[in-house]
Structure 1
Amino acid sequence: MAEKRNIFLIGPMGAGKSTIGRQLASQLHLDFIDSDHEIERRTGADISWVFDVEGEAGFRVREAEVIDDLTQEQGIVLATGGGSILSKESRNYLSARGVVVYLETTIDKQLVRTSRDKRRPLLQTEEPRDVLETLADSRNPLYEEIADFTVKTDEQSAKIVANQIIKLLDF
């Protein structure tokens, strides 16, 4: 039997990791997992609540544990949280245990895609553009550092992006 491979999707919030990940998993007959949903399942609370109670630092500890656990699975497409790459250990797990695809998008597209989503604690501010720009400055180099492939998601449907990824990976 062929060895099952993992695909890990990284990138900023609003890049389409969950939407594209579901499409990719469906086409490749792999299991889809969203690390944020797994954190919520394990804690029994939503991400915003974890941020409120434990702060971002507490959330990041939980996130790193989940990334460690999930990257040990086989045959999955994993959509990671935008900040999951902040942990050096998580970056190492992702790059060592699967193929890492960086879904790249613009700040303008992120603003459109996240404008009505109240489940993003870091964007609950008067100036979400400023937050997204600051996050991009610090995180984009980390995404680039561990990415095996980079795919732009701005002007394409999830199905087209998933097909591009499948071609790149030669699955």
Structure 2
Amino acid sequence: MLQAHAQDWPWKGKPIVLVGLMGAGKTTVGRRLAQRMRLPFVDADHEIEAAAGMTISDIFERFGEPHFRDGERRVIARLIDGSPKIIATGGGAFLQEQTRALILDQSVAIWLDAEPAVLADRVRRRDTRPLLRGRDPQEILTELAGIRNPYYALAPIRVESVAAPHDATVDAILEALKA
């Protein structure tokens, strides 16, 4: 298993921001990556919920997606403070022009790319995702991939998130960061 120290990497201590569709493993992989790199981990969705005092589902229901995206942008801007850490973002964060520009300018963005079938298998386990409620996850994730993947592809690093233990994805990220 690869071990890493933040000071060993050429990205000079910038935050690492994980982007990708829901179910790609941004939170789980992010936690493990942070542990292996001995860096703090922050989940932007959890920070948004803490700042709003309500769940993301409730924010979507009560105020709509534009309100949520504005709060998300502000929280991510606060998290990207120049200190090294691993940040997991929500699936739609990188689609927002201002948020994407900030991430690309002030951090190292890594796209966790996964096939819709893999994503659907992972997200079926929880009913906490507003975009999937009452719908077929694989169908929705296939549609979302078609729309969102061109944005995610703007991240300078792409790592495949496959149906394997999350440590395989962490190893792939550590290898990609060495380049």
- Aligned pairs for 1:12-91 within 5 A: 12-91=21-100
Structure 2: how far apart are the matches of 1:97 and 1:17? 19
* Aligned residue identity for 1:153: S
Deviation at 1:169, TM superposition (A): 0.9
Name the SS of the counterpart of 1:102 in structure 2. Answer: strand
The structure 1 segments of at least 4 consecutive aligned residues displaced by more than 3 Å after TM superposition are none
Map Cα deviations across residues 129-168 of structure 1 (whole Å, 9 max, x no partner): 33222211111000002x1111111133211211221121
- Aligned residues between the structures: 169
RMSD: 1.5
Consecutive unaligned residues in structure 1, runs of 5 or more: none
Q: How far apart in 2 are the matches of 1:161 and 1:127?
A: 26
Corresponding residue for residue 170 of structure 2: 162
Structure 2 gaps of 5+ residues are 1-6
> What is the match of residue 3 of structure 2?
none
* Whole-angstrom distance in 2 between the partners of 1:127 and 1:50: 23
Query: Which one of the candidate residues 118, 124, 148 is aligned to 1:115?
Result: 124
User: TM-score by structure 2 length?
Assistant: 0.89
Q: Give the SS at the match of 1:9.
A: strand
| Offset, 1:73 | 4.3
Residue 150 (str. 1) matches residue 158 (str. 2): yes
Contact 2:95–2:151 under 8 Å retained in 1: yes
Does the 8 Å CA contact 2:118/2:163 hold for their aligned counterparts?
no
| CA positional deviation for 1:74 | 0.8
User: In 2 relative to 1, CA 73–117 (structure 1 residues): closer, same or farther, beyond 3 Å?
Assistant: farther
Shift of 1:170: 2.0
More off after superposition, 34-43 vs 125-134 = 125-134
Residue aligning to 1:137: 146
TM-score, normalised with respect to structure 1? 0.93
- Distance, in Å, in 1 between the alignment partners of 2:168 and 2:135 is 34
Tell me the distance in 1 between the aligned counterparts of 2:29 and 2:137: 23
Distance 2:148 2:76 in 1: 17
Q: What is the SS of the residue equivalent to 1:112? A: helix
